[in-house]
Amino acid sequence: MTSNEFPQFPENIPTHPLLIIDFDLLKRGDEAEIDRLWEASTKLGFWYLKNHGVDDEVTGMFDMGAKTMSLPIEEKMKFEQGNEGMSFGYKSAGANAVDASGKKDAVEFINVAKDDALAWPGQVHRSYPPSVNDRMESTVTPFIRKSVEVNNLLLGVLNAKLGLPAGTLLEKHRIEEPSGSESRVTRTPPVRSTSIDPAIGSHTDFGSLSFLHNRLGGLQVLVPGIDTWQYVKRLTIAPQPIKGHAICNVGDALSIFSGGILPPPGYQSFMERWSLVYFTRPGNSIILRPLVDESRLIADAVARSPTMNLNTGATSSEWFTRRIKNQRLENRKTLTPSLKGPETWMASRGTEEVEDTGVKDEADRPSQRR
C-alpha cells in the first residue's frame, strides 16, 4: 500500500467523533466558529479542521515520504536522528520505547526541521536524504509555510480566548527563532489485529499545536472521563477522505502556557497507517510556564489547581530534547535486570498522566502535570 491509497476503515471498533472546525470561518472572525474551536480545544484538545487549503502540498508530502521509506535501510540510516535528543532526520522502526518496559515501537518516519526548510538551500540543523532534497523547494518548504500560517491563526484565536495581550502566543513562536518545529511523514506497518501493542506508545505531543493529515484511522485518543482508548475515524465519502479535513490537537507547551485550560490529549497509534503532521513548537529559548502574569483567566485556572505544577523551569529546547532523548532505547538505563530502565521512560514523559512503574527516583524529570 502506498501513502496516498485509502483502505477500508475496520468496522465494530470503538470510535470517537470530533468537532469539525471551518478554517475559512475562523479567518473571517466568525464568533460562533471561534466558540466551537474553544469548545473543542478545552474539552478534548482534538478537532477536525476543514478548508485549510493545504491539500496539494499534503499529497506531495506523502509522495516524498513514500519515496524516502522505499530507500534501502543503509541509505536511510545515513540520516538517522541519533541518541542525543535531535528529532530531525530519519527514525527507524524499533529505535524508541513505547512504554516503561522497553517494548520497541514499530514506526519509521522522516522529520524535516522548519528551520532547514525555510533556509533551503542553506542548512541550519542537518542534511536530509536525496528524496527529501529533491522536493524541498517544490513541496516541503511550501507545506511548512502553509502549516505555519494555519497554526499561527489558530494560536491567535486561542490567544484572544485565553485573555492574553494580542500577539503573546505568536511572540513565543517567532518563525525567525530556531525551534523544534518540524514536518513528519510516518509509516506504521500493517498488523494482524488491534489487540496487540501500539505502534507508537501513549503520549502527548511535545509542542503547542499539531496539524495532522491521516491515511486510515490508526489514531486512538483517551477521552476525558472515559477509561478506554477510542479510534479517531477518518471522515469518508465512499473510500475517499473528505477533501480539506485535517486533525489538529493541543500539545504540552500550549497546555502549560494556558495553565492547563487547554488539555493536551493522550493518544497512541495502532493498525497500518500513513500520516503527515506539522508540529508547531515554541522558540528554543522560551521558558515553559503558565502565563499567569499576562492573563487573569490563566491565573485563576492555576489558582484553582494548586496540585498541578506546570512551572517546568525548562526552556522549550530542554523540554523537547529531554523527551526525545529518553525515548531512545539506546539511552535506557539498567539499574537491575527486573527494572530494565523504566526510569528512563519516566524521564521522557510530558504533561500526560504517567503510569506507576514502581520507580521512586524521579529527580531528573521536571515538574509535570499529575
C-alpha cell at 86: 535531535
Specify the higher pLDDT residue, 30 or 341. Answer: 30
pLDDT at 246 over 50: yes
pLDDT at 243 over 70: no
Give the chain's length.
370
Average pLDDT, stretch 269-281?
A: 77
pLDDT at 46 over 60: yes
CA distance 159 to 25: 17
Residue type at position 83: N
CA distance 37 to 161: 10
pLDDT tens profile 58-72 = 999 999 999 999 999
pLDDT at 357 over 50: no
Which of 128-132, 260-264, 331-335 tops mean pLDDT? 128-132
Q: How confident is the model at residue 45 (pLDDT cuts 50, 70, 90)?
A: confident
